[in-house]
Chains A and B, each alone.
Chain A
Amino acid sequence: MAKKALVVDHVSMKFNLNRERPGSVRELLSRIRHGRLRDEFWALKDINFSLEKGDRIGILGLNGSGKSTLLKVIAGVFKPTEGTVKRYGKVVPLLELGAGFEKQYTGRENIYLYGTVLGYDKDFLDQHYDQIVEFSGLGKFIDVPIMNYSSGMRSKLGFSIATAVNPEILILDEVLSVGDVRFRRKSMRKIKSMMENETTVLFVSHSIHQVKRICNKAMILQNGKMIAMGDIDEIADIYEEMYGLERARLARKSRREARKARRFAVQQLEAAMLAVEEKISESGRSVLEEASKVLQTAEDYISGNSKAVEEKVKVLGEAAKVLEEAANRAAEDPEAVEQALRALKETSDCAAASFKEMKTAEIIAGEALLPPANQENPIKSDEKKENINL
């Protein structure tokens, strides 16, 4: 385990802008005068990292941050201006699928041509030919010249050829968005199965969700510099924060709202419970007090006065009367109990409402965090939220 798969050692890449040839002698002279003959641009600056076997790294960054340049340097298409790249094993780049095809060739011929370009030999391609055709789903179209293919068919064929074997290092540049839904799912499965075979994957995508699903590591590029690299979750959080992604912001907002609602509900509930408790204990205490007083009196009568039984009986009757009165009063008291119950109901209603509010807020938050299944508009959830507020 932990075998090295790729070492990118202090790689920098410089481009000369103004590469376009001057259109005329005058233009050339003016360029010399303004010193614009050599306008340098560093697409990558001192990129330094290494990957182990089986690592899947997502490369994040805005357009022009150097993602594709980095992939091309790793694929060996660009030679870095400074630094070195060490690859341990076969690299299969999936950059703009099907771009290396010969238009006049049929699908069959292109399998052999593109396959050998990727470094497979003829025997290998003979063995895997059927598998490639089957995976591409092209069927009888395989003997039709590529120029008559749709772009989706071309991409499918390109993907099928490139992934015919398990390469040690696989480079994916936004390629998972090609083809129809079925093929996309199929290719995703294929890549997943490759990952089980300890393939090292470098993956560029603007969909942080896709990156999260595939990768275990990630890095962020900004203006050609690597500003963060590490565990996927950690980096994804940094990335979202950095670029204030609209969706992430909305999600955070509704999450905050939900938390607030929940806090409010709990507060209300607590207050209500307290009130009920107070009410109940108050009336209960007064009844008990009354009763004990009556009892005390009765006892006094019994123990203290043994002169006449009649008198005792009379007193007892009196005590009973008092007791009855106390009981009546207790019966009367239900108003207080009822009041307390009403207060309880009110407060619990209130609590339920705030609970409901909290639930909806949470649903919105959850939806906002979901993947953009059909490029779902974040505005939609925004609208929903406003409705609730109303």
Chain B
Amino acid sequence: MLIQLKKSWKQFLSRRTLLKELVVKGIKLKYRRSYLGVLWSLLEPILRTIVYTIVFGTLLGRGGPDYPLFILCGRLLYSYFAASTKAATKSIGKNASLIRKVYVPKYLYPMSSVLSNYVTFLISLIVIIPLAIYGGVSFHLTAFGIIVPLIIILCMSYGVGLILATIGVFFRDIEYIWDVALMVIMYTAAIFYDPSRLIKSGYGWLLELNPLYALIQNFRNCIFGEAMDSQLLLYSAGFSIVVLIVGHLLFYKQQDKFILYI
């Protein structure tokens, strides 16, 4: 077992260049032929946040200068999760021509799509700074804590991505089903409303089931200078580890059959 792990780690290292090349490809192609290029990863969340602030700020009557920052935190994490899992679902089919010709460890495809989205996601985090200044939220040392939810969300996205990529090969309908599921996840992640209101209404369990909600809550806590909720942290971390293991087992069991279905 240990020897096998060591061997696959060695194999992974030997494919580092390829992984890097695939990640770069994902980023490059995303912004190719656009004038602003990577700037869009900053501009897009700002514009979205403005829209959300106007729509939900007036609709829900939730105001305050820190409301845009509140939305942005949730929105950034959610869009990363959505984009990377969607990309992972399609990753095998998209690289079919390559898979049919050359042997490459197949997990590199979902991994690279998760990672290239992660890079743009990390860049877009810069947007938090101007909105925090706008919202009058001062800098707290706890802000360094965001690294924890950031690591967890990467693991979670990769785990979910592996599962979806595997299913996506045999059952293409999963793309559309996942779109709907993502909508449910978005609305139950308390991105633009105060979670306490939903908890009071008795639908709080929906939030508690949603691991993304747990991540967003802790992320916000870090930014707003509060302590992380250990229960939520544990839940999100545990969930990530479980999907990571399940994803790996599923993917490894099925990967040799991919070629017959793409």
Q: Which residues of A line the B interface, CB within 8 A?
A: 15-16, 19, 72, 75-79, 91, 93, 95-96, 99-100, 102, 104-105, 109, 112-113, 116-119, 121-122
**Most central of A16, A96, A102 by chain B CB within 10 Å:** A102
What is the distance, in angstroms, from B89's C-beta to the closest C-beta of chain A? Answer: 18
Q: Which residues of B contact A72 (CB under 8 A)?
A: 100
Q: A19-B260, A100-B97, A104-B32 are in contact. Are A118 and B25 (CB under 8 A)?
A: no
A117 touches B97 (CB 8 A): no
**Max chain B C-beta neighbours (<10 A), residue from A16, A113, A117, A121:** A117
A104 / chain B contacts, CB cutoff of 8 Å: 29, 32
Q: Tell me the minimal C-beta distance from B31 to chain A in angstroms.
A: 11
A77 touches B100 (CB 8 A): yes
Q: In the complex the two chains form, is B102's CB within 8 Å of A116's CB?
A: no
Q: Is the CB of A116 within 8 A of B99?
A: no
Contacts of A75 in B (CB 8 A): 101-103
The residue that A121 contacts in the complex, of B17, B99, B261, with Cβ under 8 A, is B17
Q: Tell whether, in the assembled complex, residue B98 and residue A100 are in contact, meaning their CB atoms are under 8 Å apart.
A: yes
Q: Does B21 contact A (CB under 8 A)?
A: yes
Q: Answer whether A77 and B18 are a contact pair too, CB < 8 Å, given A16-B260, A100-B97, A104-B29.
A: no
Q: How far is the CB of A162 from chain B (nearest CB, A)?
A: 9
* Whole-angstrom CA separation of A117 from B102 in the bound complex: 8
A93 B25 Cβ-Cβ under 8 A: no
| Minimum CB–CB distance for B8 against chain A, Å | 16
**Contact residue among B14, B100, B104, B261 (Cβ-Cβ distance under 8 Å from A117):** B104
Alpha-carbon separation in the docked complex, A78 to B260 (Å): 9
Further pairs besides A75-B101, A104-B29: 6, Cβ < 8 Å: A19-B260, A77-B102, A99-B97, A99-B100, A105-B25, A113-B22
Are A15 and B260 within 8 A (Cβ)?
A: yes
Residue pair A116, B103 in contact (C-beta under 8 Å)? no
Residues 219 to 260 of chain B near chain A (Cβ within 8 Å): 256, 259-260
Some 5 contacts from A to B, beta carbons below 8 A apart, are A79-B256, A93-B102, A99-B101, A112-B21, A118-B102
User: Whole-angstrom distance from the CB of A117 to the nearest CB of chain B?
Assistant: 6
Distance of A137 from chain B, by nearest CB (Å): 23
Query: A109–B259 Cα gap in the complex (Å)?
Result: 26
Chain A, Cβ-Cβ closest to B18: A116
Contacts of A121 in B (CB 8 A): 17
Min CB distance, A45 to chain B, in Å?
Answer: 18
Chain A residues, CB < 8 A from B28: 105, 109
Residue of A nearest to B171 (CB): A21
Assembled-state Cα–Cα distance A93/B32 (Å): 30
- Residues of A near B17 (CB, < 8 A) are 116, 121-122
Q: A102-B29, A113-B21, A121-B17 are in contact. Are A95 and B260 (CB under 8 A)?
A: no
Residues of B within 8 A of A118 (CB): 102
What distance in Å separates the Cβ of B104 from its nearest Cβ neighbour in chain A? 6
- Distance between Cα atoms of A104 and B28 in the complex (Å): 10
A104 to B103: give the CA distance in the assembly, Å. 22
Q: A75-B102, A77-B102, A99-B100 are in contact. Are A117 and B259 (CB under 8 A)?
A: no
Contacts of B259 in A (CB 8 A): 77-79
Minimum Cβ distance to chain B for residue A40 (Å): 12
- Near A by CB (< 8 A), chain B positions 25-39 give 25, 28-29, 32
Distance between Cα atoms of A121 and B20 in the complex (Å): 11
